[in-house]
Chain A
Amino acid sequence: MYSSRKIYLPIVAIVLAGGSLAGAAEPGSFGYGRVATPAQIAGWDIDVRGEDGAGLPPGKGTVDRGADVYAEQCAACHGTFGEGEGRFPKLVGGVGSLRDERPEPTVGSYWPFAPTLWDYINRAMPMPAPHTLSADDVYALTAYILNLNDLVPQEFVADRNSLPKVKMRNRDNFIWTDPRPDTMAKPCMNDCVNAADVSISSTAEGRNLTPRTTGPLDTMQPK
């Protein structure tokens, strides 16, 4: 017992030394790259957290100002009142539709957190020129879209304090832990179904939705 322990200890020491030499645990042990400066981080650090609005910058915007910016930068795709042009997404409507045959998830009917709207407009819109709006204009657009959805009154001013307090309609209807696996199929091998019960419930044959898969790219549009 005693002697085997004596041999064991030095091996542990060697392994530990090797580990730190290989840079497994110590921060900065490779030493590649540059430590990011606070100024560099500030320039890149654009994210805003949905639930509490952490990361929202200073600034503010009114519904009226939002209407002006929206008409100029957003309405062409999303429609003057958020109804969506063509297949571009609707930004309003669908309230109460989530259990329907054809639900309409929108900012008004589906989105759980208002600061997420600020974050998304800021990082991704307007689609042709993303991340070009001022913080004030993003606040104004957020106020305008929330107002279109009857989530805030006409005199609402969006800023880092007011946005996290906006109660979104669908906020409490998300489950943030994955309940899967939610099916428990057993791998039956023989006589698993009655032959008489095997029937086709739907077929893609003749639906004319499928683009061609030979020759040049298809340009088909649905009727």
Chain B
Amino acid sequence: MRPPGEENVRHNPLRSKAILSDLAGPDAPLGRRSFLTLGAALTGSLAIGGKPALADPAQGSPPADAPWSQSIGAGVVDRPYGRPADTEASVIRRNVPWLTASMESSVSFSPLQDLHGIITPNGLFFERHHAGRPDVDPAQHKLMIHGLVERPLLLTMKDILRFPSISRIHFIECPANGGMNWRAAQMNSLQFSHGMVSCAEWTGVRLSTLLEEVGVKKEAKWAMVEGADGAHMNRSLPLDKCLDDCLVVYAQNGEALRPEQGYPLRLVVPGWEGNVNIKWLRRIKLGDKPWHSREETSKYTDLMPDGTSRGFTWLIDAKSVITFPCPEKPLDGPGLYEIRGLAWTGNGKVKRVDVSMDGGINWQTARLHEPVLSKALTRFSLPWRWDGRPALVASRVIDETGYVQPTIVELRKQRGSNSVYHNNSIQTWQVKPDGSVFNVQLA
């Protein structure tokens, strides 16, 4: 027997033959069994012999092979659904344990600091439940559309899938995103200060198609939309918005909705606050007046300093945030960096993003990355040579209506600091000489 060695592993003719025969099927001369035996022998030899010489990447002489380059990996359907690399285990939705009384009426935040595109992976999309995540049986789930309609309907999931389908990329943001920073900088984290926004490609049917199918009566002005969760979450929506761009969706990023995103059916109300994007959608009722449900009176209303409150503040105003650097991703010494970030607006498209490194004295316009889609997250970047001195980095978005993202000082001047919702202010990150980054607010 030859001693276990590098040559044996790298150029074993038996091994390549074994792979070929394995692909050819069980009747081939070298069958699956001999392949498996050989594999076991190789693994064993690596384990006994320790690291092969060339596996140390520090040695760097090409070709330098790591252990995974000198062994055979897991086969197909080893993970029939698939999952991220084990080393990405920290990239998860996280909650603030002290924030809410129960985990069932609570929120979790997307790890924006580790995301690289405009699409949020389905397992990382932020969650907001009011009565936990129901596990709905799609065979029993139905959507009822009634009220001021000509022809009230009860639709099964099969029925809904037959309607003409449409796909759109849209963000959803909880209006309380950033709520913990209304009074002062509190959360030293991108995930916890901005992670209640996510973005996906949604597939379903236009709400207008369903409403045409039931026939809207002339007196109808509002819709009440309701979920099948324990909260029976319900909100009022103006009929105009329903007919404009709302979607009744069954899919998210190409697969069925995740249970925590409303499986099997949810409403997507592009550009409007997360709460109206009813999950586990089961009922739409048309009426002539709004309902003033608990979620649009006691909650999701904005308390002003004079004691009055604003209701029906559905729009998500333009907002942006620098995702690198951020508290979770400090700088690694002076040098050239790419500042990266996300911008979005419920008004339509992002038109421009400016970035400041000096706390808002001077601004430079960043590059917007394609695609720039209406009511979707938009990426921006700007190269920055950091000299190692303290810096205050911030971004400011301008949307296609000309609306400019305000500072927290401007917002407080209008709304005080008790309005909980709709804090879309400019986020400033303080960079210290050691590269560490902190959430700060400027006077």
A211–B96 CA distance with the chains assembled, in angstroms:
6
- Is B152 an interface residue, CB under 8 A from the partner? yes
- Is B387 an interface residue, CB under 8 A from the partner? no
A222: chain B residues at CB < 8 Å are: 98
A175 with B363, Cβ < 8 A, contacts A110-B298, A209-B186, A211-B97 known = no
Complex interface residues of chain A between 106 and 159 (CB less than 8 A to chain B):
107, 110-113, 116-117, 119-120, 123-124, 127, 130-131
Q: Which single member of A44, A204, A211 contacts B144 (CB below 8 Å)?
A: A44
Are A32 and B155 interface neighbours, CB within 8 A?
yes
Are B100 and A87 interface neighbours, CB within 8 A?
yes
Q: Which single member of B303, B314, B352, B443 contacts A105 (CB below 8 Å)?
A: B303
- Is A203 an interface residue, CB under 8 A from the partner? yes
Q: Is the interface of A mostly helix, strand, loop or mixed?
A: loop
Complex interface residues of chain A between 200 and 220 (CB less than 8 A to chain B):
200-205, 207, 209-211, 213-215, 217-220
CB distance from A107 to the nearest CB of B (A): 8
Q: Which single member of B145, B292, B359, B443 contacts A49 (CB below 8 Å)?
A: B292
B154: chain A residues at CB < 8 Å are: 33-36, 40
Are A27 and B150 interface neighbours, CB within 8 A?
yes
Are A24 and B90 interface neighbours, CB within 8 A?
no
A220–B407 CA distance with the chains assembled, in angstroms:
31
The tally of residues in A whose CB lies under 8 Å from a CB in B reads: 92
Are A116 and B293 interface neighbours, CB within 8 A?
yes
A199–B328 CA distance with the chains assembled, in angstroms:
23
Are A41 and B152 interface neighbours, CB within 8 A?
yes
Q: Which single member of A86, A117, A218 contacts B97 (CB below 8 Å)?
A: A218
Q: Which single member of A174, A200, A205 contacts B442 (CB below 8 Å)?
A: A200
A193–B411 CA distance with the chains assembled, in angstroms:
18
Are B362 and A190 interface neighbours, CB within 8 A?
yes
Are A36 and B146 interface neighbours, CB within 8 A?
yes
B185: chain A residues at CB < 8 Å are: 202-204
- Is B358 an interface residue, CB under 8 A from the partner? yes
B152: chain A residues at CB < 8 Å are: 35-36, 41
Q: Which single member of A29, A120, A177, A187 contacts B363 (CB below 8 Å)?
A: A187
CB distance from A40 to the nearest CB of B (A): 6
Q: Which stretch, A3-11, A62-70, A178-186, touches the partner chain B?
A: A178-186
A191: chain B residues at CB < 8 Å are: 361-362
Q: Which single member of B156, B307, B438 contacts A99 (CB below 8 Å)?
A: B307
- Is B105 an interface residue, CB under 8 A from the partner? yes
CB distance from B355 to the nearest CB of A (A): 11
Complex interface residues of chain B between 101 and 158 (CB less than 8 A to chain A):
101-102, 104-105, 111, 113, 130-131, 144-146, 149-156
Q: Which single member of B146, B306, B363, B422 contacts A41 (CB below 8 Å)?
A: B146
Are B298 and A105 interface neighbours, CB within 8 A?
yes
Report B's interface with A, CB cutoff 8 A.
90, 92, 94-98, 100-102, 104-105, 111, 113, 130-131, 144-146, 149-156, 159-160, 162-163, 184-189, 191-192, 212-215, 224, 226, 230-232, 234, 282-283, 285, 287, 289-294, 297-298, 301, 303, 305-315, 317, 327-328, 352, 354, 358-364, 392, 396, 398, 403-407, 410-411, 414-415, 418, 422, 430, 438-443
Q: Can you show 27 pairs from A to B with CB atoms below 8 A apart? A: A27-B151, A28-B151, A32-B163, A33-B156, A41-B152, A44-B144, A47-B226, A47-B291, A99-B305, A112-B297, A113-B297, A124-B130, A131-B232, A174-B301, A174-B310, A178-B313, A183-B406, A187-B404, A189-B363, A192-B361, A197-B443, A202-B184, A203-B439, A204-B188, A204-B440, A207-B186, A213-B90
Given contacts A110-B297, A119-B293, 10 further A-B contacts (CB under 8 A): A27-B212, A36-B145, A41-B146, A45-B285, A47-B291, A116-B297, A120-B298, A177-B312, A200-B392, A213-B94
